[in-house]
Structure 1
Amino acid sequence: MKTESITEKSAHRLPGLDLLRAVAIVWVMLFHSYIIGGLGEHFSVLENSGWMGVDLFFVLSGYLIGSQLLKPLSRGQPLALADFYLRRAFRVLPAFFVVLALYFCWPAFREAPGIQPTWQFVTFTVNFLIDYQHNKAFSHVWSLCVEEHFYLVFPWLAWWLTRRPSLRKVVIVCIGLVAAGMLLRGYVWVHELAPLRDLDDGRFGQHFVEDIYYPTYMRLDGLLAGVVLATIKIYRPIWWQRAQQNANALLLFGIVVVATSIIVFQDRSGLLATVIGYPLLSFGLMLLVAAGADTQGWLGRIRMPGAGWLAMVSYSLYLTHKAVYKLIENTFGTSLQDQTLLAFAVYAAASLLVAALLHYAVERPFLRLRETLFARPRREQIAKTAVT
């Protein structure tokens, strides 16, 4: 029963979205290669913009979670909130707690000496409270904190918006969230960051990370873009069908918008990028996800070897890759310096190996357990309906 469930689930995977998820995690890993001094000038363009992979994850998450929650609401069914939160817990927490234990029980596993208190990781408040100057270890969990806050709040917002569905109300809320983010980021930049910009003490970069880049209320653009896609798919199927018929055009337009965003983010912590860069980038990534959701367009037809597997283990890769980079650096020292291809192969192989171990030893068993626990009530409900 477990194997059949997983196989059935795999049959419904969309290759285009798997490819985007694989691109997102590789992009993020290239960005974090600065921990080991980077992988060479040949990768500098990808490394410098690799943080955008996190925003791609946000758009994908908004689309997939939004579709999952909005579909029953569109049919007039109540939200099964307990089931939703339990499913998310089984998906996210086991691997996270294993890696968290490694960070605190094995200091050599850390990519940096300092780390925030355990309770901030357990409560997913690191992105609000972090002292980035002194505690960089496991700091990339900030994006998981954003995701967790999204899981917590969005079901209630979706329920409120769909009690009396209104396109006008949804548009007002979406525009309001984007505008609020732009205004808030701009205000913080002008009043808190601008006075620090010309100082050579590192405080500008630290405050940029702590006050603009990490907090959830500053980083809603990607999740919102994904939710908008899910809303169109569920509540405006004709619009969605037309979009899917033009998937290739969406792909090309999305590439242009993302490329424009990369140009805007040349000064990544500048005022222009801070204010308009994130919604612009999220819009471009939203177009790519819309194109990837179609199985007939160019993106949906690509069958890149290994992309599906990378997508499957992307969460484990996300959790462990920075620590693995540091372990390899400490193990091999300077022997991999000036050997770009060999260094790339060693760091990539080690990261994939550790991620595979975490996925198959922790993630997958808990996902199987989740399917077993949630399949039983469904079977009982089907049997009850058949008797009735």
Structure 2
Amino acid sequence: MPAKADGRDNPWLDLLRSIAILLVLLRHGERAVSVSSSAPHSVAHTIFMNGWVGVDLFFVLSGYLIASHLVRAGIGSGQFDLVRYLVRRALRIVPAYYAVLLLVVAGAFPFYAVDPKFLGIRVAYHLLFLQDYLPSDINVVFWSLGVEEKFYLLAPVLVLALLRCPDRVRTALIVLLFCLPIAARAAVYFGQTAPLDYQTFWPLLRSPFHMTLEGLIAGVGIAIAEHAGKLRMSRRAATMLLCGAGALMAGWLGSEDFMANIYATDVIV
């Protein structure tokens, strides 16, 4: 089923968005509950704690939707308006983000207080969407917006370059771009002299834009392949694929709490 230009009328994408939202909510909810609970951990607890993968699913969706929009908007032709694209991206994210950031800093949310130390500097780099490289310590969930905004700026150049490449070069370039953040994480991980804990892993290997790019690249690759007519699937086949992938994902998420101990597989995969 092909997606519409903005993805609003595609039930498959709405379903994936819902799964991603649910996973993220379960992750944060389970962390809050498990801190105050001494009950033995169940498989459900493990799945919920691994709900951070919902953010990666969001990245895949974002890469797909932005690339699809750029292709349909005629990037590389006289039809494409770069300024309009940038303004639309800004209006979609910036006003709501700035409003929530202001409310958080102002203490508008009960039971949630922000450390006032160096608050002006921290607000400043959050306003510039640098919280993926600098501490996302006003509200930790803001880190992914730093990644998204950088991708919005990169996407027109990336999609245009891919569209102008021959098929084989395009495929090789997508694979290369997908592997680069994985290789970067592996290089940093194997260069560490001490074991990584979650607090060290997060700012070093998880939140920086260049370390978490493969989901976005995967989405772009899917959009480009669809545009080239290489992805055609019946409703039945798509349903079977989704159910099979969902079952495999549930089994994988329930196998262990990946962030409890940081190993090479957690960093690379």
- The interval holding the TM-score normalised by the smaller chain is 0.7 to 0.9
- Which whole-Å CA distance do the structure 1 matches of 2:109 and 2:233 have between them? 53
Code of the residue aligned with 1:143 in structure 2: it is S
Cα distance in 1 for residues equivalent to 2:234 and 2:25: 31
Q: Is the partner of 2:129 in helix, strand or coil?
A: coil
What's the counterpart of residue 366 of structure 1? none
Partner Cα distance (1:161, 1:145) in 2: 24
- For the 8 Å contact 1:67–1:230, the answer to whether it is kept is yes
Offset from partner CA, 1:230-272 (integer Å, 9 cap, x none): 111112x2x2224666213322442355346436764333211
Q: Cα gap change, 1:10/1:211 in structure 2, threshold over 3 Å: closer, same or farther?
A: closer
Task: From the superposition, tell whether residues 102 and 60 of structure 1 become closer, same or farther in structure 2 (CA, over 3 Å).
Answer: same
Q: Judging changes above 3 Å, is the alpha-carbon distance between structure 1 residues 52 and 250 closer, same or farther for their aligned structure 2 residues?
A: same
Aligned residues: 255
Q: Find the counterpart in structure 2 of residue 161 from structure 1.
A: 162
1:222 pairs, out of 205, 215, 226, with 215
The alpha carbon displacement at 1:158 in A equals: 1.4
Structure 1 unaligned runs (5+)? 1-8, 198-203, 278-388
Answering whether residue 74 of structure 2 is matched by residue 83 of structure 1, we say no
Q: How far did 1:274 drift?
A: 1.1
CA contact (8 A) 1:31 1:47 kept: yes
Aligned counterpart in structure 2 of residue 241 of structure 1, from 207, 232, 235: 232
Which stretch of structure 1 is more off in the superposition, 147-156 or 180-189? Answer: 180-189
Please point out which of 222, 225, 239 is paired with 1:232: 225
Q: Is the 8 A contact 1:23 1:53 kept in 2?
A: yes
Flag the structure with higher helix content. 1
**Residue 219 to residue 12, structure 1, CA distance change in 2 (3 Å):** closer
Matched with 1:181 is: 181
Greater Rg over alpha carbons, structure: 1
Instruction: Report the CA distance between 1:153 and its aligned residue.
Output: 0.6
Return the alpha-carbon distance in structure 1 between the equivalents of residues 179 and 227 of structure 2.
Answer: 25
**1:133-187 residue CA offsets vs partner (Å, 9 max, x unmatched):** xx3x31111111111111011111212332x331122212212122221211111
Give, in angstroms, the shift of residue 22 of structure 1.
1.6
Relative to the length of structure 1, the TM-score reads 0.59
Q: Indicate whether 1:123 and 2:128 are aligned.
A: yes
Contact 2:20 2:54 in 1 (8 A): yes
Q: 1:143 corresponds to which residue?
A: 144
Q: Distance in 1 between matches of 2:167 and 2:74?
A: 15
Measured against aligned partners, the alpha-carbon deviations of 1:85-107 in whole angstroms (never above 9, x if no partner) come to: 11111111111111111112227
For the 8 Å contact 1:212–1:218, the answer to whether it is kept is yes
| Change in 2 beyond 3 A, CA 1:253/1:37 | closer
Verify: 1:29 aligned to 2:25, yes or no: yes
Q: What SS class does the counterpart of residue 37 from structure 1 fall into?
A: helix
Give the counterpart letter for 2:183 in structure 1.
Answer: L
- The CA distance in 2 between the partners of 1:11 and 1:185, in whole Å, is 31
Distance 2:75 2:97 in 1: 33
Question: Is the Cα contact below 8 Å between 1:264 and 1:273 reproduced in 2?
Answer: no
Measured after TM superposition, the shift of residue 59 of structure 1 is: 1.1
Q: Provide the residue aligned with 1:272 in structure 2.
A: 265
Provide closer, same or farther for how the CA distance between residues 166 and 243 of structure 1 changes in structure 2, counting only shifts above 3 A. Answer: farther
- TM score, norm. by length of structure 2: 0.82
The aligned amino acid for 2:215 is G
Matches within 5 A, 1:280-295: none
Aligned to 1:67: 68
Aligned ranges 1:1-388 → 2 under 5 Å: 13-34=9-30, 36-38=32-34, 43-73=44-74, 76-106=77-107, 109=110, 111=112, 113-114=114-115, 117-130=122-135, 135=137, 137-162=138-163, 164-192=164-192, 195-197=194-196, 204-235=197-228, 237=229, 239-242=230-233, 246-259=237-250, 261-262=252-253, 266-268=257-259, 269-275=262-268, 277=269
Amino acid at match of 1:114: D
Find the residue that maps to 1:147 and give its secondary structure. Answer: helix
Does the 8 Å CA contact 2:132/2:143 hold for their aligned counterparts? yes
In structure 2, the CA distance between the partners of 1:24 and 1:44, relative to structure 1 (3 Å rule), is: same
Question: In structure 2, how many angstroms separate the alpha carbons of the residues matched to 1:189 and 1:10?
Answer: 38
Q: Which amino acid aligns with 2:171?
A: V
- What is the CA-CA distance between 1:51 and the residue it aligns to? 0.6
Tell me the distance in 2 between the aligned counterparts of 1:261 and 1:183. 22
Q: Deviations over 1:67-99 (max 9, x none)?
A: 000224478444311111111111111111111
The AA in structure 2 aligned to 1:189 is Y
SS of match in other structure, 2:133: helix
Contact 1:103 1:109 in 2 (8 A): no
SS at match of 1:251: helix
